[in-house]
Structure formats: structure tokens, C-alpha cells
A = this chain, B = another copy of it.
Amino acid sequence: MLNARTAHTTIKDIAKQLGVAPSTVTKALKDYPDVSEGMKEKARGLAKKMGYLPNSVAQSLQSGETTTIGVIVPEIKHHFFSAALDGIEEVAFKEGYSIFVCKSNEDYEREVINTRNLLSHFVAGIIVSISQHTKDVGHFIDVQARKIPLVFFDRVSDEIAANKVVVDDRAGASSAVAHLIESGYKRIAHLAGPDYLNISKERLKGYAAALKKAGIPFNADYLIYGGFDEEDGVHGFKRLMKLRPRPDALFCVNDPVALGVLLECKKRKVRVPEELAVVGFSDNPVVSQIDPPLTTVAQPAYEMGAVAAKMLLQQIRHGNGDFVPEVIKLKTKLMIRKTT
């Protein structure tokens, strides 16, 4: 195995060249008051000449702190998460922090391993969007027990008191359904996500609230639970089409599900939005390009990441002994296109 050590200049090397002690070099480079100007200049000059870079591993061990924050997301390549990562990186970079990026792959076991890994690397804090299959949050409780700042975004858990950044799912869902009602649709169905996940629950609540507000009775047949993928849309759609009367509008828990529905509509020659209106959630880049362009609820992914990072950094800096967990709800935006 390659040993990087051989190739790096250390403070000791500089000290040796200068004929002084390592501590003097440290102090010179860090501009301590008890080092002469002459020594400081010599140290700086030689450090530059020798290409000295501080060994942050050693610094971290010494100080007991790192300038690294860990991030765990279910997927990297999905637009929502990569945009959020982008926001996190941006804020972290500006504050002098680096980010460890881990993907849980929607797998509970892997999420646990990732968490342990980050703790092992002594990250200053962790930002998480939990996996679809995570029911037990013991590993996050453990993070908090170790006094490591922890912030959740988007996929949060109710079972844990921590800083969270979410989107106002309920209001977003509500506005989408309200828009359907205003457009004259009467029999509005909902393809919901897994019932133990917060975003599913919130979006369902928004759906129900909008119906209630308009005086439309809730019809249990029109509520179908499923997952977050295209096939879940296909599957849900098939079940709904068997109902009589058929729904005339469909609010989907997210865009892929809506995409699955549209796919199936095309296959079965169901006209959108005349026979069936469809609304998604997220505003993935795809959905504005398809035909017909999908009406959907836009989530500020980049901003969510940025806000989560800011919360985490504040927690890191102010300590988290006395902090009171806070939930920041970001506003969604209804993008009205051609499927409604």
C-alpha cells in the first residue's frame, strides 16, 4: 500500500531546515505573538518553498475537532438529492467545511453502516435524509447520544427530536388539490406513499384538508398506498380505473408515480387532462419536458440543502447542549402545466 507520508513536508521538516523546534514553526505559521518577525518570515518562506500543507488529520486528532460534515442520502443521482447536496456543499465550502457524501441506497443496513462510518471519522455533524425502509432510528439516537449535531431534511422522522428542514408538504399538497377542485374536478383520488413516512402522511393530510375545505366527502376507495416509483403509479392507476365512478383527477405523492400514471394513460388512451387530471410532487426536471407537461408541486431542493447545512453549522458552533430542536418548513410552489 502506498504510504503518503514519504511525500509530504511536515512542520518537523521545516523546523529541521531552520534549526529550530517544531513548536516554533507552528507558532510562526500561526502568527503567535511570541515569535520574532524574522522567524515568521523565514518559516513562511520555507513553508511555501517546500509546499507545506497542514496535515488536517493530525490537527483533528490534536484538537478533537474536524471541519468535515457527513451527509447521508438515499440516492445521489436523483435530482432532488443531488440538488440538495449542491446546496449543502455550497454552504459548507463557504464556511470552510468539507462534506463526506454517503448513499444509503434506500437500505436500512447501509444507512446504519454509513452512520457508524461518519461517527468513526469524527465528523463535526451529520445531515440526513432517511431511507425509505428505515423504521428504527436507533442509529440516529446514538449520534445524538454522542453529542454530534444532527439535522434531517426532507425525509425526517417523528421519533427523534432534532433540527429538521422540510417542505410544507401539507400546504403544497393542499394547494395542488385545491387547484384541481377550482378547475372543476370532482372525484379526486390520491396515490399515497408508504404510510409510515412523514412526507406520505403530510401530503395525505393536505389532500384531505383541501377536500374537506371544499366540502367534498373523503372516499376511502380513492386513497391508495404505494411506493415512490413509476411502477407504483402504474399499479395504483390500474386499481383506480376499476372503480365506478372513476376518479376524474389524481394527486400523486411524487413525480415518478405521476409519470407512471401518465405512461399508463397513454397506453390505454385515457386523455389527460380531459378524462383524468394528474398532479405530481417535486418538479423533477423531466416533468416539464414531457407531453403533456406535468402540473406539479415544486420543492426547493437546493435551498433545503443549504438551510440544513446552515442549521448544522450553527449547532456545531454554538454547541448543542442547550439547543431546542427546530423544524423549518420551506414553501412549495405549484407549477401549473398541462395535465390539469
Contacts and interface: CB of A to CB of B under 8 A. Distances in A.
A120 interface: yes
A110 B92 CA distance: 13
Contacts of A26: none
Interface in A75-99: 75-79, 81-83, 85-86, 89-90, 93, 98-99
Interface stretch (A29-37, A49-57, A191-199, A219-227): A49-57
B56 A120 contact: yes
A103 B90 contact: yes
Contacts of A122: 4, 55-57
Contacts of A56: 120-122
B77 A85 contact: yes
Contacts of A259: 289
A93 B102 CA distance: 8
B77 A102 contact: no
A83 B77 CA distance: 5
B147 A4 contact: yes
Interface string A115-138: 011011110100000000000000
Given A57-B121, A83-B77, A98 B102 contact: yes
Contact of A1 (B2, B116, B286, B316): B316
A289 B287 CA distance: 8
B101 A5 contact: no
A266 interface: yes
A302 interface: yes
A64 interface: yes
A58 B120 CA distance: 10
6 contacts: A1-B317, A55-B120, A57-B66, A76-B86, A86-B103, A101-B101
B79 A79 contact: yes
Given A147-B7, A259-B289, A316-B1, A99 B98 contact: no
A5 B266 CA distance: 59
A121 B100 CA distance: 12
Nearest to A55: B122
A7 B64 CA distance: 11
A291 interface: yes
Nearest to A116: B53
Contacts of A286: 285-286, 289-290
Interface string A1-23: 11111111000000000000000
A206 interface: no
A65 interface: yes
Nearest to A288: B286
B82 A101 contact: no
A127 to B, nearest CB: 13
A169 B282 CA distance: 33
Nearest to A70: B98
Given A54-B120, A79-B79, A82-B76, A64 B285 contact: no
Nearest to A83: B77
A271 to B, nearest CB: 14
Contacts of A57: 57, 60-61, 66, 121-122
Nearest to A259: B289
A319 interface: yes
